[in-house]
Amino acid sequence: MARPRVFISSTFYDLKHIRSSLEQFIENLGYEAILSEKGAIAFDPDLPLDESCYREAKNSDVFVLIIGGRYGSPASTEGITPPEGFFDRYASITKREYQSALERDIPIYILVDRSVYTEYETFRRNRGKKDITYAYVDSVNVFLLIDEILSQSRNNPIHQFDRHTEIAAWLREQWGGLFKEMLSRRSGQRQLTSLADQVRYLSEISNTLKRYLEEVVYSVSESKVARKLIETEGERLAESKRMQKFLKHDWVYDLVTRENIPLEQVKDMFSRAKSINELAEIIAAKDKDISADGLIIIWRKDNYGIGPINDARKILGLEPISFRKSRSASESPRKRNSKKAKNEQYDK
């Protein structure tokens, strides 16, 4: 059975004991710990060593980032040796591993040494000042990495730690919560599936009742009035289904919900337009914040607007429309040349 692959990212020499204990914790859970020093990464001989690490970070199931006082070696793409100045900026291998996992939207868990985070708070209050000496951090890039992590809108849980045992306890709680959330989501999906089945069943019952009622009406009265009633109700139901489908169209839904245009008015707008240009003018007349020319420019870009517009019209049973031709484009070459000659003669 496949095991979850957990990539552990950090600088090595200052955090090797934590990395070792974290590896044991992960293996005891039955997961696979990915550490560069344990031979778990297949290094490509045709690439720099760190590129293989980024590949493994992307292919992992969970990413754990440990931030201590050291920032680490520059990534191979930086093309530099480790700078000596505290304020020299560069991207480290650890940072690029984190960014690789972030690109794939892998669940990320960040652990920061409490002393480092305390100094980060000092850095935040004195940002830009270069006359401060930090006791626990060897590069301003450590603070900038924490800045980048905190700037993310999601997937950035941070836990401060003093001892490695705190790391294991926090990760156990986090992964337990993740597993529970997965089970809840699965249960919710089953409930939605059951609800969908019930809706389909009710739809079948509705169709059956409709047929029964039609038979009853026909048996009671063979008149044209009964036949007309059944036809009218059938058309009404068909129109109701059509309008429900029309409302589900993305553009129609936006016009109704965001621009507060009633659905019947949206239908009328799409029905009255004889060209894409005319539809833009109709929409702009409804909303003064929208420019018809601006809409046309957007829609003309790679024919961006034609497809969705005609998809909505198709739902209503309308013919497709296109951009309105300019007057000069609609005239024949002979007519344009004749017109040009007359203008030249007039100018003379």
Here the tokens at position 247 are 């409302």
State which residues of the chain have pLDDT below 50. Answer: 328-331, 340, 342-348
Task: Report the chain's mean pLDDT, rounded to a whole number.
Answer: 83
Same domain? For 247 and 154 the reply is: no
Here the tokens at position 237 are 């139901």
pTM over 0.85: no
Q: What phi and psi, each to the nearest 5 degrees, are found at residue 161?
A: -135, 155
d(CA 228, CA 226): 5
Q: Which tens digit of pLDDT belongs to each residue from 171-189? A: 999 999 888 888 877 777 6
Percent of the chain with pLDDT over 70: 81
Domain annotation covers residue 38: yes
In eight-state DSSP terms, residue 92 is: B
Per-residue exposure over 275-285, b if at least 16 CB sit within 10 Å of its own CB, e if not: ebbebbebbbe
Same domain? For 255 and 111 the reply is: no
Here the tokens at position 331 are 């005239």
The number of residues in the chain equals: 348
d(CA 254, CA 305): 14
**Which of these three, 136, 162, 188, is where a domain ends?**
162
Judge contact between 246 and 315, C-beta under 8 A. Answer: yes
pLDDT score of 183: 80
Q: Reduce the DSSP state of residue 64 to 3 states and report it.
A: strand
Number of domains in the chain: 2
Same domain? For 150 and 257 the reply is: no
Same domain? For 154 and 253 the reply is: no
pLDDT score of 220: 63
Same domain? For 155 and 285 the reply is: no
d(CA 167, CA 144): 23
d(CA 92, CA 86): 14
Domain annotation covers residue 196: no
Domain of residue 250, residue span: 239-325
The count of other CB atoms within 10 Å of the CB of residue 77 is 12
